[in-house]
Amino acid sequence: MEVEQNINLDKADKLKEEANEFFKKQNYVKAITLYSNAIECNPTSAVLYANRSFAYLKTECFGYALEDASKAISLDKTYVKAYYRRAASNMALGKAKLALKDYETVFKARPNDKDAKLKFNECSKIVRQQAFERAIAVDSVKKSVSESINIDSMTVEESYHGPHLVNGKVTSEFMQELMDAYRDQKKLHNKYAFQILLDVEELFKSQPSLIDVSIPDSSKFTVCGDIHGQFYDLMNIFKLNGLPSTENPYLFNGDFVDRGSFSVECIFTLFGFKLLYPEHFFMARGNHESQTMNQMYGFEGEVKSKYSKQMAELFTEVYNWLPLCHCLNQRVLVMHGGLFSRDDITLDDIRTTDRNRQPPEDGIMCELLWSDPQPMKGRSPSKRGVGIQFGPDVTARFLERNHLDYVIRSHEVKADGYEEAHDGKCITVFSAPNYWQVSSFLEYRSQVTCVLFTHKTTKVTADTCSGYQKES
């Protein structure tokens, strides 16, 4: 029996080393598989659970990451990395107070570790800020960030040679100059950046939580998935599929920012086109258009670095007004995440959902932003720790109840950039080809994936620009 255990331990170590190599290459899915195989060989290793927890964090499976980190701690209460992982999981789930306890444990164990101190201090600030906001919310109405901004007091210096708004408005010439400036890694002036945010906030405020979109016969309508701060891939979409216009409408389906290095450039480009073509360019909220995600995955820090804390706060306010989903020709529902924990949800329920807030932990808004499809029937707890996983029967019942043909969603990396599930009734499209920079995604990196919705196409096809074309 002892010989067999040693063989299993040796195999577990070998699998762990293989998994570590895939993790270094950012192939987190393969790493998770190998860590899981290693755990089967050695289920008593806290290191294996903590490593898999880290890989789950990278793939935003926060629920699984939390479970693994807790398991690692139960196996070895002195294993500091496990507390790190659990704290990061709780932060991603918006549970800062729970995260703070673990960051405090790490900081006490490693008082000279700069990163441990930084994480503990950042989390402490967030907890204090949340407590302060709860306190003032009881007795007063918080003044909006937009009300505190005075555009007229901002001066455009003569030394600024970037794009200029014309009478405070976005034009097609401005958008071309803006994209050219961003390609050269130049910056939009502070005054114009604030003007765009204030104007787009007013525009989103005027729109409902569910937007009905009419697409004329023989016209195409392009749906793009996650962009995640990849400006040059965004430019490639426009190069291959054409710039947005009244004749070439787009819907960008959430997660415009975070992870990528050019989130500011992506979001101002998208907001600019929204202002230029308000009836032909659409944007839906993703789970990363939230304060917690932006704090964890880079957007807040990028905005503060390129502009200011005040602008970062304004972005949070603007994101609260992003529509939650779109219905194309009363036939196709497009949302970032997925479907619901109840069968009785209707489109009218979505229309009446209050979205001007941070994403809640459950309910319609949460599930629209966070849920994922699963191959088996029924519903399951989410691998992310938020939302649910829903099966083909759930999709079929929702479509029948609401007289829809299928749903389009994003939210998940797919090796081909898109995936058809649930008998073709649930389509995932993901448009950030360098998201993990995984070697197995090399072929996909040469593509840009989006969806062309048309009336008269006859089959599903894939090419360098379109995820698929779906029969009406």
What pLDDT sits at residue 216? Answer: 87
Residues 132 and 178 in one domain: no
Please check whether residues 185 and 130 belong to one and the same domain.
no
Specify whether the CB–CB gap between 428 and 221 falls below 8 A: no
Our CA dihedral for 145, 151, 154, 157, rounded to 10 degrees, sits at 120
Question: What is the predicted pLDDT for the residue at 133?
Answer: 73
In this structure, is residue 43 part of a structural domain?
Answer: yes
CATH at residue 112: 1.25.40.10
Q: Tally the domains of the chain.
A: 2
Burial class (CB in 10 A: 0-12, 13-18, 19+), 127: middle
86 and 226 housed in the same domain = no
- For the chain, counts of helices (H) and of strands (E): 18, 14
* One domain, residues 300 and 387: yes
192 and 302 together in one domain: yes
**54 falls within a domain:** yes
Distance CA 360, CA 355 (A): 10
* pLDDT for res 139: 53
Same domain, yes or no, for 99 and 187? no
Q: Which of 138, 159, 189 is the last residue of a domain?
A: 138
Q: Is residue 159 part of a domain?
A: no
Residues contacting residue 102 through CB under 8 Å, at least 6 positions apart: 83, 84, 86, 87, 90
Coil/strand/helix, residue 166: strand
- Are residues 414 and 322 part of one domain? yes
Q: Of 94, 122, 138, which residue is a domain's last?
A: 138
Torsion region of 424: left, alpha or beta (phi above 0 gives left; psi -120 to 50 gives alpha): left
Active site residue 403: no
Q: Quick one: pLDDT at residue 140?
A: 53
- CATH number for 410: 3.60.21.10
Residues 120 and 181 both lie in one domain = no
Q: Is 181 inside a domain boundary?
A: yes
**Per-residue confidence of the chain (472 residues) as pLDDT tens digits?**
444 455 589 999 999 999 999 999 989 999 999 999 999 999 999 999 999 999 999 988 999 999 999 999 999 999 999 999 999 999 988 898 999 999 999 999 999 999 889 889 989 988 888 887 777 765 556 678 999 999 999 999 999 999 999 999 999 999 999 999 999 999 999 999 999 999 999 999 999 999 999 998 888 899 999 999 999 999 999 998 999 999 999 999 999 999 888 999 999 999 999 999 999 999 999 999 999 899 888 999 999 999 999 999 999 999 999 999 999 999 999 999 999 999 999 999 999 999 999 999 999 999 999 999 999 999 999 999 999 999 999 999 999 999 999 999 999 988 788 899 999 999 999 998 766 542 222 222 334 455 665 543 322 333 333 333 444 3
Catalytic residue among 189, 288, 326, 422: 288
d(C-alpha 289, C-alpha 321), whole Å: 10
177 inside domain: yes
Give the whole-angstrom CA distance, residue 19 versus residue 25. 10
In a domain, 145, yes or no: no
Range of the domain at 462: 172-469
Are residues 203 and 281 in contact, defined by beta-carbon separation less than 8 angstroms? no
- Residues 131 and 218 grouped into a single domain: no
The count of C-alpha atoms lying within 13 angstroms of the C-alpha of 323, restricted to the half-sphere facing its C-beta, is: 27
- 357: in domain: yes
Q: Same domain for 330 and 453?
A: yes
Q: Is residue 443 part of a domain?
A: yes
Residues 176 and 222 in one domain: yes
121 lies in the same domain as 191: no
Q: What is the pTM of this model?
A: 0.87
pLDDT of 213 reads: 95
pLDDT of residue 44: 94
- Give residue for tokens 């603007």: 318
